[in-house]
């Protein structure tokens, strides 16, 4: 049986990768993800994990190495943050287009400039369209579970796509939390040995990554798009399997105190737990407020989201990144477009907060509700309201 331990979340992530029996880890250190791959290197060096650890010279090289190892049939993992993720940008598209089941932990951190090592979602929001499956964790337990789930989904022959597990830098990576760590037998029962659908083999040569002439490029991108869309049911199926094996349930969209809520917060990542406490406080004060949490970012679960917000009058969309030149943050922009296409009538207020790791307090969430309700009553637009900007 598993054990309950107090463990830094980065180390718990690394231990989960070890329990998944990764064959190759290729990575370059960058704050705040370094503890993940540092611990994996120790596990390999100490003989606790039978894998190749490849210390590369950059994140671009790390993802390139992952593409090669995955194409050769190895269960492959990497991790990065911020500028490192940006440096991988070119190769991330290749990994998805080649349908390689790489798993990556993304310790979300601000993009420069100015230089900031602290948390927000600007790094992953700049990589929304890479063709990867993307999930978000709120706490350490979820990081462990979503890592196991990522390998299960990525390697499913109905999917064969890379998966990114997002965890907030420092807020999660460097915090010690109580975590139920499963034992090897439990993980083995959930995650079978990796059997690649295709791999590079000198005895049976195949071509990967060939030039896409205009006559086939569109069809290749369409195939990648369809594969990502079709992964949705498999993602849910393997969350159900995880619940049966480990007793913890995950859904593409998760709700909190939404039954009679007139106002709903929409959140992603660790800030969601702070919002929960603010919701509890406002409920005690008689305010009908709830929360909708986006667990699955790509492919986006449109129908689940529309069902979750159906009874609300006002949405407060929390963005942890800016989309310069557009009058809304990236999450709000996408949700507004989707809701318009679905004929939704909810008023949408967009708040951008927590940039560069700045704290966001419960009292500020209470103020957001007050501002949104006032603006909705007056018919005023609330686009990209930045919280706590110093005058």
| Residue bearing tokens 């509890």 | 280
* Strand pairing report for 382-386 and 163-168: unpaired
Residue 35, pLDDT score: 98
Q: pTM to 2 decimals? A: 0.98
| Residue bearing tokens 């079978």 | 192
Q: Give the separation between CA 152 and CA 19, rounded to whole angstroms.
A: 13
Residue 209, pLDDT score: 87
> Strand, coil or helix: what is 134?
strand
Residue 252, pLDDT score: 98
Interacting residues of 25 by C-beta distance below 8 A, sequence separation 6+? 17, 37, 40, 41, 44, 51, 52, 53, 54, 76, 77, 78
Q: Give the separation between CA 67 and CA 74, rounded to whole angstroms.
A: 10
pLDDT per residue of the chain (391 residues) written in tens, 0 to 9: 689 999 999 999 999 999 999 999 999 999 999 999 999 999 999 999 999 999 999 999 999 999 999 999 999 999 999 999 999 999 999 999 999 999 999 999 999 999 999 999 999 999 999 999 999 999 999 999 999 999 999 999 999 999 999 999 999 999 999 999 999 999 999 999 999 988 998 899 988 888 999 999 999 999 999 999 999 999 999 999 999 999 999 999 999 999 999 999 999 999 999 999 999 999 999 999 999 999 999 999 999 999 999 999 999 999 999 999 999 999 999 999 999 999 999 999 999 999 999 999 999 999 999 999 999 999 999 999 999 999 8
Half-sphere exposure of 32 (CA within 13 A, CB side): 27
| Residue bearing tokens 């070890």 | 18
Check residue 126 and report its DSSP letter.
Answer: T
Residue 2, pLDDT score: 83
Q: Give the separation between CA 237 and CA 284, rounded to whole angstroms.
A: 37
Mean pLDDT, the chain, rounded, equals 97
Pair of tokens at residue 357: 């790791």
Pair of tokens at residue 367: 């103020």
Interacting residues of 343 by C-beta distance below 8 A, sequence separation 6+? none
């Amino acid at each position: 049986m598993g054990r309950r331990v107090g463990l830094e979340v980065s180390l718990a992530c690394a231990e989960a990768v070890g329990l998944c029996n990764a064959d190759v880890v290729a990575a370059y250190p960058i704050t705040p993800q370094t503890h993940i791959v540092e611990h994996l290197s120790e596990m390999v060096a100490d003989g606790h994990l039978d894998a190749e650890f490849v210390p590369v010279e950059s994140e671009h090289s790390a993802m390139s190495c992952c593409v090669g190892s995955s194409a050769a049939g190895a269960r492959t993992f990497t991790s990065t943050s911020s500028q490192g993720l940006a440096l991988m940008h070119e190769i991330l598209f290749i990994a998805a287009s080649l349908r390689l089941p790489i798993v990556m932990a993304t310790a979300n951190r601000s993009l420069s400039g100015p230089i900031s090592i602290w948390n927000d979602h600007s790094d992953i929001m700049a990589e929304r369209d890479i063709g990867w499956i993307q999930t978000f964790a709120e706490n350490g337990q979820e990081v462990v579970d979503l890592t196991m789930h990522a390998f299960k989904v990525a390697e499913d022959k109905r999917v064969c796509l890379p998966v990114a597990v997002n965890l907030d830098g420092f807020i999660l990576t460097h915090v010690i939390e109580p975590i139920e760590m499963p034992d090897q037998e439990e993980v083995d029962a959930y995650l079978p040995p990796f059997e690649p659908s295709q791999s590079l083999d000198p005895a049976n040569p195949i071509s990967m990554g060939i030039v896409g002439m205009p006559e086939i490029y569109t069809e290749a991108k369409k195939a990648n798009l369809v594969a990502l869309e079709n992964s949705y049911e498999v993602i849910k199926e393997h969350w159900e399997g995880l619940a049966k094996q480990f007793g913890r349930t995950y859904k593409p969209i998760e709700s909190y105190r939404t039954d009679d809520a007139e106002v709903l917060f929409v959140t992603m990542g660790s800030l969601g737990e702070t919002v929960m406490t603010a919701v509890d406080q406002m409920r005690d004060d008689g305010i009908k407020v709830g929360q909708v949490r986006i667990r699955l970012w790509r492919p986006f679960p449109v129908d689940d989201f529309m069902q979750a917000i159906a009874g609300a009058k006002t949405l407060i969309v929390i963005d942890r990144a800016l989309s310069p030149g557009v009058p809304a943050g990236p999450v709000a922009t996408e949700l507004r477009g989707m809701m318009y296409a679905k004929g939704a009538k909810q008023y949408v207020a967009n708040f951008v907060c927590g940039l560069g790791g700045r704290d966001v307090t419960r009292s500020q969430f209470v103020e957001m509700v007050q501002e949104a309700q006032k603006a909705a009553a007056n018919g005023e637009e609330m686009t990209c309201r930045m919280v706590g900007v110093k005058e």
